[in-house]
Structure 1
Amino acid sequence: MLSTLRTSAIALGAVALLALTGCSGGNSANNSSNGSNTSGGSLVIDTAFSVETADPGHTYDPTGNMLAKAMYETLVDFKGSDVSTPIPGLASWKANDTATEFTFTIEDGRVFSDGSPVEAKDVVFSLQRIQGMADAKPNFLLSGVTIKEVDAKTVTFTTETPLLQLPAILANPALGIVNSDVVKKNGGATDGKDTAQKYLDGASAGSGPFVLGSLDLSSQIVLKKNDKYNGDEKPAYDRVVIRNVTESATQLANLKGGDSMVAMDLNGDQVAGLGDGIKVDSVPSGQTIFLLLNQSKGIAGDLANVKLAEGIRYALDYPKLLELAGAGAVQATGVIPPGFEGALPKGVSQDLAKSKAALAEAGYTGQTLKLQFPNDYPVGGVEFTPLAERIQSQLKDAGVNVELAPAPFATELDAYVNGKEGFGLWFWGPDYADSANFLPFAPGLKVGLRSGWEASADPEIAGLAAGAASATDPKQREEAFTKFAEEMQAKGPFVPMIVPGRNIATSGKVAGAVYNSVWEMDIAEITPAG
């Protein structure tokens, strides 16, 4: 999830990270009715692992989120791939007029996998446990939030500032509710001294459709049906095997050969050539691949101005760039990707006359721009080196000279985070399903500052971002995000280009495997076809 570029590459947001190590797959799961199109057998899923633990309080990576979604329920949910409207999960809720106090009421009768009831004490403990663990990757999601038990079925959340997106935040699988009694007995605590991760890597303490069978972070994870589960999703399989298959070609071979039923990491070219008997769900992801033009004179010198970004924005041929992205990908219409509140309906089209005028106003007279980018970190199947080469070629045709400066991800990340790139090619994705994730592009905020764009550089856009963040009326909030996206596309130092696709391929024997930008895929929704 290269969303917030937190403490490690794995923690970068809610998206597939394919460059992890592990075995290349095999036949270890090929038993217990594998391939059957009837309920009760085994479901086999191939994916490139990005998971460090089965403890929801510590997980914050794509495979980890999918795993947590299967075992731990959250207070709030989304339906299928639609992340536009939060719906009740374990609880329903009401908010006050200022969006600073939320009251959640737990659904009657819900139980954990040991049969004990889900109660307010479990909600408070689960979330305060995360707040107390400074090293917990999801810790930042609950910053400034106070959580209190009212009675056995009621919990209140109080926020320091208006937080209309709180329900969407609480749908993150990392905020799954654990059985407080069980976890406390096994080292759980809210004071920062929690040691329960070891226990939760070998056992489940949730109320979700599945429980943990076994966990091998380098090879495979086995889930078993939770016989006590009494929620809306009824698991169709007794056993689910998630295998670490790092090569997409191997995933494709396993799927075609009947050794698996779901392949999660096929690229656009691979899914375009699939034949009968294999289905593909190809949709845009929540990520955006973009160019940044640094606004710091110490980095960009005389070319530190947004007109240079405008010139480049209109110089590019976006349909040609999209050819490198494959199935499911779409043009980025702005810093807010399609499917999120405030996203613009249409992106920029190439206009060389506008580009030439903006470049002249920027003071561009043929200087060579050094394009820095990570060359070993594909995003949604998009390789950055061929993309950078095509950008270089298109800009040359528009009269802009570009020198390519690729570097390993680990090396280039430091330059990007610390605002040392004059001209960079990067990506960003959401930490949770809400447009507030994209406000950091504003001047004076995280991504804006990585581009040397101080709040004083554009007080109007900075004000729009602040207004969108604090809005308490849903209609006004949508209008604020739309205006923010419009102004960013017109005057920002960024060039949004591509929203990569996510392709989930399945055997014709199963149905319901769809991509979700928060938890990758809801395993409990997968059923035998027909």
Structure 2
Amino acid sequence: MKRTFTPRRLIGAVIGVVVVSGLAACGGGESEAGSGSALTVNTSFVVKSLDPGAVYEPTGNVVVHALYDTLVTFEGDDVTTPVPDLAESYEASPDATTFTFVLDPDAVFSDGSPVTSADVVFSLNRLKNLKGSAAAIVTNLSFEAPDEHTVVVTSSVPDPSVPSMLTMPAAGILNSKVAKEHGGDDSADAASTDKLTSYLNTTAAGSGPYVIESFDAASRIVLSANPKYWGDKPAFPRVVFQNMDVQNQKLTMSKKPDASVAMDLSGSSLDGLPSELQQTSSPNIYYQLRLSQDPSVSKVTSNSDFVQALRAAIDYDGIAAIFGEGGQPAAGDVPTAFAGSLPSSEAQKQDLDQAKALLASSGVGDTPVKLLYPALTFGGVDLGTIATKVQADAARAGIKIELDPAPIASFLEQRKGGKVALSFSPQQLDYPVATVEVSDLMPGGGAAEAAGWTEQNADPETVAAAQKALSTFDPAEQATAIQDWQRLMLQHSPYITMAYNSGVVVASPDLSDATFTAAGWTLDVADIGRK
């Protein structure tokens, strides 16, 4: 949400992180477009809760961002520097372990009561102690309130990305008095004692520009403008989110409705749309192969020459072309929407001669390898199309791959178990802090553990480069360190990032500021106005 800021000092940070997203769209329905006072957002619902302490899914993040303010936020589509939200200013210690936020004295909740440091500490402690998926952003953090308007956040490890992580909808600030009255608990036992979620699914207890009018996780979510909002009043008094599959989103937008947005059109689903419609995007998704480095799982994929043979066999330009205009051949592991990405001039290229030579050096012969992937459509593209392309590319180099599609739940369970030789999935940064991706992919991280990649079998120079990226605090220097790390990953890692694709927001011609953002909420509905 736009607001006039008078910060004392703004400390920026490099940004990004990785999460496997399996988006299953469902439903359709009649659009409310043209109703005059309402903004209609058509999207394939992936939502369980509107409780910021429990929200993790894409649709939930968009809605919760409109209901709850955070200490800091990102403005528009700029995800490089957090700016004040509830905090009018913040400062970081030189060692990036202590962050001091001063609250804006004008900030109030939807019931008119002031936002205090006690509310912030309660909300963030509750998020941490609920121990849900979203709690990962605050695992290493502790919170204290030295006075009514000051919050001190302390990280147990140096981490300049803390302000960026606190922009996430999960870090939304609750009215602690209201929360406690309805079963909210921020104690260490909150995971078992907190009873607040059901209340927050019907009534927002935040300070954001909207409040909840109705919530049906299967079909429709309606928001109303917060009459006591302390910031700039949103242009639309109501926002209607409709659960609609990609095909119906395209059909609806093709009719050029008024005051309407579609959030899930990309790739070929954008073909043929009226030219009057607005499209904004950013390459924030990457498509990656993962090869197990555990010989007990596969003697083939754990062979370094085989990994490099497959890397050389991939037709990166061809993979990117599957996504249409939004597709880009990958240069490294970090998509171009984020600081630390490699330049497009370093995009990988297919080299079949090198692939054949490396395959011969590997000594694995023509032993086939199964490629596990989720059987779904993501970003407008059937993932089976990409898997088939990988299989065909590999075959040109003499590598035999057998396709093994699986339902998303089975795919995630199998891959987490660490017994999968070769797998493929789209990856999406859950919040824009690239150093978290470094942590996840390197030995000790979740992806590395599932791939059997340890410090014992990892290249020491690559491990050292990752450590440098994680320990560098200056944003520009850190971005350079992340680039250096990626170049080594291309030589030594068990991951093959093939292409980037863009998330896209499609908006009707009459709207302004309906902009896609690579931040964790995709679209800020409170920013949207009429031309």
Task: Using structure 2 for the length normalisation, give the TM-score.
Answer: 0.90
Matching residue's letter, 2:45: F
Match of 2:110 in 1: 113
Match of 1:311 in 2: 309
Match of 2:124 in 1: 127
What displacement does 1:323 show?
Answer: 2.1
Matching residue's letter, 2:299: G
- Larger mean Cα displacement after TM superposition, 406-415 or 383-392: 406-415
What displacement does 1:66 show?
Answer: 0.4
User: Which residue, 147, 151, 154 being the options, matches 1:151?
Assistant: 147
What displacement does 1:112 show?
Answer: 1.3
SS of equivalent to 1:158: strand
Match of 1:362 in 2: 362
SS of equivalent to 2:326: coil
What displacement does 1:129 show?
Answer: 1.3
List aligned pairs for 1:306-455, cutoff 5 A: 306-345=304-343, 346-375=346-375, 377-439=376-438, 440-455=440-455
Relative to 1, partners in 2 of residues 1:514 and 1:306: Cα closer, same or farther, differing over 3 Å? farther
Matching residue's letter, 2:205: A
Match of 2:460 in 1: 459
Match of 1:53 in 2: 49
Contact persistence 1:45–1:242 (CA under 8 A): yes
List per-residue Cα deviations over 1:102-141 (Å, max 9, x = no partner): 101112311111111111111111111112213x331221
Alignment pair present for 1:514 and 2:515: yes
Matching residue's letter, 1:19: A
What displacement does 1:525 show?
Answer: 1.3
Match of 2:202 in 1: 202
List aligned pairs for 1:224-243, cutoff 5 A: 224-231=224-231, 233-243=232-242
User: Which residue, 11, 19, 22 being the options, matches 2:24?
Assistant: 19
Structure 1 gaps of 5+ residues are 6-11
Matching residue's letter, 1:389: T
Contact persistence 1:430–1:437 (CA under 8 A): no
What displacement does 1:339 show?
Answer: 2.3
User: Which residue, 63, 68, 74 being the options, matches 2:64?
Assistant: 68
What displacement does 1:213 show?
Answer: 0.9
Match of 2:173 in 1: 177
Work out the CA distance in 2 between the residues paired with 1:403 and 1:199.
48
Matching residue's letter, 2:266: N
Contact persistence 1:162–1:471 (CA under 8 A): no
Alignment pair present for 1:188 and 2:192: no
- Larger mean Cα displacement after TM superposition, 187-196 or 355-364: 355-364
Work out the CA distance in 1 between the residues paired with 2:359 and 2:341.
27
Contact persistence 2:268–2:381 (CA under 8 A): no
Contact persistence 1:106–1:120 (CA under 8 A): yes
Match of 1:294 in 2: 292
List per-residue Cα deviations over 1:268-294 (Å, max 9, x = no partner): 223121124322223322x22111222
Task: Using structure 1 for the length normalisation, give the TM-score.
Answer: 0.91
Contact persistence 1:381–1:500 (CA under 8 A): no
Contact persistence 1:441–1:448 (CA under 8 A): yes
How many residues of Structure 1 are paired with residues of Structure 2 in the alignment?
504
Relative to 1, partners in 2 of residues 1:63 and 1:43: Cα closer, same or farther, differing over 3 Å? same
SS of equivalent to 1:496: strand
Work out the CA distance in 1 between the residues paired with 2:300 and 2:41.
53
SS of equivalent to 1:456: coil
What displacement does 1:238 show?
Answer: 0.8
Matching residue's letter, 1:506: A
What displacement does 1:361 show?
Answer: 2.7
Matching residue's letter, 1:499: Y
Work out the CA distance in 2 between the residues paired with 1:262 and 1:473.
38
SS of equivalent to 1:80: coil
Contact persistence 2:316–2:330 (CA under 8 A): no
SS of equivalent to 1:79: coil
Relative to 1, partners in 2 of residues 1:302 and 1:71: Cα closer, same or farther, differing over 3 Å? closer
What displacement does 1:430 show?
Answer: 2.0
What displacement does 1:449 show?
Answer: 2.2
Contact persistence 1:379–1:500 (CA under 8 A): no
Contact persistence 2:220–2:241 (CA under 8 A): yes
SS of equivalent to 2:90: strand
Match of 2:3 in 1: none
Work out the CA distance in 1 between the residues paired with 2:324 and 2:445.
32
- Larger mean Cα displacement after TM superposition, 445-454 or 257-266: 257-266
Work out the CA distance in 2 between the residues paired with 1:252 and 1:521.
18
Alignment pair present for 1:468 and 2:472: no
Matching residue's letter, 2:382: E
What displacement does 1:147 show?
Answer: 0.1
List per-residue Cα deviations over 1:175-200 (Å, max 9, x = no partner): 10111111112211112122111211
Matching residue's letter, 1:45: V
Contact persistence 2:253–2:273 (CA under 8 A): no
Work out the CA distance in 2 between the residues paired with 1:184 and 1:474.
39
- Larger mean Cα displacement after TM superposition, 421-430 or 173-182: 421-430
Work out the CA distance in 2 between the residues paired with 1:474 and 1:441.
20
Matching residue's letter, 2:262: A
Match of 1:104 in 2: 101
What displacement does 1:476 show?
Answer: 3.5
Contact persistence 1:271–1:503 (CA under 8 A): no
Match of 1:9 in 2: none
SS of equivalent to 1:297: coil
What displacement does 1:48 show?
Answer: 0.7
Work out the CA distance in 2 between the residues paired with 1:150 and 1:264.
42
What displacement does 1:260 show?
Answer: 6.5
Matching residue's letter, 1:341: A
Relative to 1, partners in 2 of residues 1:473 and 1:4: Cα closer, same or farther, differing over 3 Å? closer
What displacement does 1:303 show?
Answer: 5.0
Match of 2:8 in 1: none
Between the two proteins, what is the percent identity of the paired residues?
35
Matching residue's letter, 1:366: D
Contact persistence 2:25–2:246 (CA under 8 A): no
Work out the CA distance in 1 between the residues paired with 2:369 and 2:241.
45
Work out the CA distance in 2 between the residues paired with 1:254 and 1:341.
35
Relative to 1, partners in 2 of residues 1:259 and 1:253: Cα closer, same or farther, differing over 3 Å? farther
Contact persistence 2:301–2:422 (CA under 8 A): no
Work out the CA distance in 2 between the residues paired with 1:182 and 1:374.
42
Work out the CA distance in 2 between the residues paired with 1:502 and 1:323.
15
Contact persistence 2:103–2:149 (CA under 8 A): yes
Structure 2 gaps of 5+ residues are 1-16
Contact persistence 2:38–2:259 (CA under 8 A): no
Work out the CA distance in 1 between the residues paired with 2:330 and 2:81.
22
Work out the CA distance in 2 between the residues paired with 1:453 and 1:148.
38
Work out the CA distance in 2 between the residues paired with 1:81 and 1:418.
36
Matching residue's letter, 1:163: D
What displacement does 1:259 show?
Answer: 7.5
What displacement does 1:20 show?
Answer: 4.3
SS of equivalent to 1:370: strand
List per-residue Cα deviations over 1:28-47 (Å, max 9, x = no partner): x46xx62x4xxxx1111111
